[in-house]
Chains A and B, each alone.
Chain A
């Protein structure tokens, strides 16, 4: 059974950074593409980027370059996303999702809310 379990809600001060995690199970992580997405009330969903767990190769949405950094730990089948220099614009729910080889997001994490406030 495929599972993507994300870390808990974060309250972060403006200007700080946060690292979100997405622990996976039930599939071969090392040959998977893992993606991160942002959802703000509206509602709307933005794609941040993907990382190939096999070699750490990445593809970012230009909009999030410099803001998000994707990494993986193959030993624990976990994907991570670092968000830096947080502002109120970064307050959102963030999802991790697996990309199927057939070009769709087939499994999603439960989402994590990031609040930016002093």
Chain B
């Protein structure tokens, strides 16, 4: 199975500052079609996860441009510029290259 390892944040993050969440996969997520099958989700307290970024760097419909995704085949970053109160929650990376589909253990974001 592909193991997804997420880094922690130096919580709490001051409102208006930027925050970067890292994710590493145990295998390259670059498909032969050129797409990198790495997705990012945010789970706000008491809610279901919601899609933020897919294919490593494509923002999902309706997602603020304060969120951006980048990376290589195995190392990825979700950057949140100017964090706001509504960004609080747990962020997950998830690979869709191989079965079984796997998630990182989550990175919690708290705002000061």
Interface residues of A (CB under 8 A from B): 42-47, 59, 61-63, 95, 100, 102-106, 108-111
Q: What's the nearest-Cβ distance from chain A to residue B94, in Å?
A: 8
Q: Is B103's CB under 8 angstroms from A46's CB?
A: yes
Q: Is A45's CB under 8 angstroms from B54's CB?
A: no
Known A45-B49, A95-B48: A105·B105 in contact at CB below 8 Å:
no
Known A43-B90, A44-B105: A105·B100 in contact at CB below 8 Å:
no
Contact of A105 among B37, B41, B106 (CB under 8 A): B41
Residue of A nearest to B54 (CB): A104
Cβ of B55 under 8 Å from chain A: yes
Known A102-B55, A104-B39, A105-B41: A47·B100 in contact at CB below 8 Å:
yes
Contacts of A109 in B (CB 8 A): 48
The answer for the CA separation of A110 and B46 in the assembled complex, in Å, is: 9
Residue of B nearest to A50 (CB): B101
Q: Is A63's CB under 8 angstroms from B100's CB?
A: yes
Contacts of A110 in B (CB 8 A): 48
Cβ of B51 under 8 Å from chain A: yes
Q: Is A61's CB under 8 angstroms from B100's CB?
A: yes
Q: How large is the interface on B (under 10, 10 to 19, 20 to 34, 35 or more residues)?
A: 20 to 34
The answer for the CA separation of A114 and B94 in the assembled complex, in Å, is: 24
The answer for the CA separation of A59 and B101 in the assembled complex, in Å, is: 11
Identify which of A43, A44, A95, A104 gathers the most chain B CB atoms within 10 Å of its CB: A104
Q: What's the nearest-Cβ distance from chain A to residue B68, in Å?
A: 17
Contacts of A42 in B (CB 8 A): 105-106
Sample 29 A-B pairs with CB under 8 A, ordered by A number.
Answer: A42-B106, A43-B105, A45-B92, A45-B103, A45-B106, A47-B100, A47-B101, A47-B102, A61-B99, A62-B100, A63-B100, A95-B48, A95-B49, A100-B54, A102-B54, A103-B35, A103-B39, A103-B55, A103-B96, A104-B39, A104-B60, A104-B94, A104-B96, A105-B39, A106-B51, A106-B60, A108-B49, A108-B50, A111-B48
